[in-house]
């Protein structure tokens, strides 16, 4: 709040007039003297001081309401994000889904069962996202970050995770049939009970992979896998995996 200064009463005009030596300056000093009187009267007008207090009080009320309604604004933001995702369901392209999914995940909202099948989600960041039972079938998720994401029981058929970071991600019981995981980082990921039929795992990093009880590895391409756990390659080949360098082969 601005501090109000109570001004000193201006001297009478006849006194001020006596001190003026140049006649042409009289109109200017008269106007200045008039303004001094206005300022003096207003500075002692209590009504203006009351208005200033009310103005400050109004700002305080506005701040209180702003923070009081923050929960409603957050709910509205989440509702709009879900609206974007649901409207684009079953359609190709982005449709604003990348930003919507990232905003919801950043606010700790579970994305369980979300359907982004066929969507263009290249470069999305969904670290630690709760995506169990989600549908990413045929989605383009190349060069994305899904570290520690929970994608258990998810439909990931034909999804493109090429060059993505999937460290410590959970794929328990997920269907990765024909999924493209070439060049991806699956360090520490859990593939227990997953289906990897015809999946492309070429040049994939498998450091500390949890791979026991993989349900199906038939025709999964494991050519050039890196840092594979002991026994994984033999296990995969025994269950129908292949090692082919190029698609032409």
235, two tokens: 């296990």
pLDDT of 203 strictly over 80:
yes
Mean pLDDT of the 176-200 span: 97
Other residues' Cβ atoms within 10 Å of the Cβ of residue 94: 17
pLDDT of residue 126: 97
d(CA 81, CA 70): 17
Mean pLDDT of the 158-165 span: 98
Per-chain mean pLDDT for the chain: 85
Q: How far is C-alpha 183 from the chain's CA centre?
A: 26
pLDDT category, 212, cuts 50, 70, 90? confident
Mean pLDDT of the 236-241 span: 94
pLDDT category, 230, cuts 50, 70, 90? very high
* Nearest CA-CA partner of 11 in 25, 42, 32: 32
Q: Best-predicted range by mean pLDDT among 9-13, 50-54, 100-104?
A: 100-104
Tell me if 13 sits within 8 A of 37, measured CB to CB: no
pLDDT of residue 162: 97
pLDDT of 1 strictly over 60:
no
Question: Which residue, chain included where needed, has tokens 């791979």?
Answer: 211
d(CA 116, CA 136): 5
CATH of 110-249, one of 3.40.50.2000, 3.40.50.10420, 2.160.20.80, 2.102.10.10: 2.160.20.80
Percentage of the chain modeled with pLDDT above 90 = 60
Q: Which has the minimum average pLDDT: 32-41, 133-142, 154-163, 217-226?
A: 32-41
Tell me the HSE value of 37 on the side-chain side, using a 13 A CA sphere.
9
pLDDT of residue 88: 85
d(CA 135, CA 117): 6
d(CA 75, CA 82): 11
Tell me which of 53 and 155 has the higher pLDDT: 155
pLDDT of 64 strictly over 70:
no
**221 pairs with which residues across the strands?**
200, 242
pLDDT of residue 43: 67
Mean pLDDT of the 209-228 span: 93
């Amino acid at each position: 709040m601005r501090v109000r200064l109570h001004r000193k009463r201006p001297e009478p005009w006849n006194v001020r007039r006596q001190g003026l030596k140049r006649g042409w300056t009289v109109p200017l000093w008269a106007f200045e003297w008039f303004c001094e009187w206005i300022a003096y009267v207003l500075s002692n007008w209590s009504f203006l001081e009351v208005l200033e207090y009310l103005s400050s009080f109004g700002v305080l009320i506005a701040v209180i309401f702003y923070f009081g309604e923050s929960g409603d604004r957050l709910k509205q933001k989440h509702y709009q994000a879900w609206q974007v995702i649901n409207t684009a369901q079953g359609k190709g392209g982005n449709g604003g889904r990348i930003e919507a999914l990232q905003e919801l995940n950043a606010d700790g909202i579970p994305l369980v069962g979300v359907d982004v099948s066929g969507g263009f989600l290249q470069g999305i960041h969904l670290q630690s996202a709760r995506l169990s039972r989600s549908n990413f079938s045929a989605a383009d998720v190349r060069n994305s970050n899904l570290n520690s994401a929970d994608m258990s029981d998810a439909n990931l058929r034909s999804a493109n995770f090429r060059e993505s970071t999937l460290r410590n991600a959970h794929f328990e019981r997920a269907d990765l049939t024909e999924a493209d995981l070439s060049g991806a980082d699956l360090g520490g990921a859990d593939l227990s009970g997953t289906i990897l039929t015809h999946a492309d795992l070429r040049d994939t990093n498998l450091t500390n992979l949890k791979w026991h009880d993989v349900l199906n590895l038939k025709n999964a391409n494991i050519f050039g896998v890196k840092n594979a756990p002991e026994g994984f390659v033999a296990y995969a080949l025994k269950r129908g995996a292949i090692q082919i360098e190029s698609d032409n082969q």
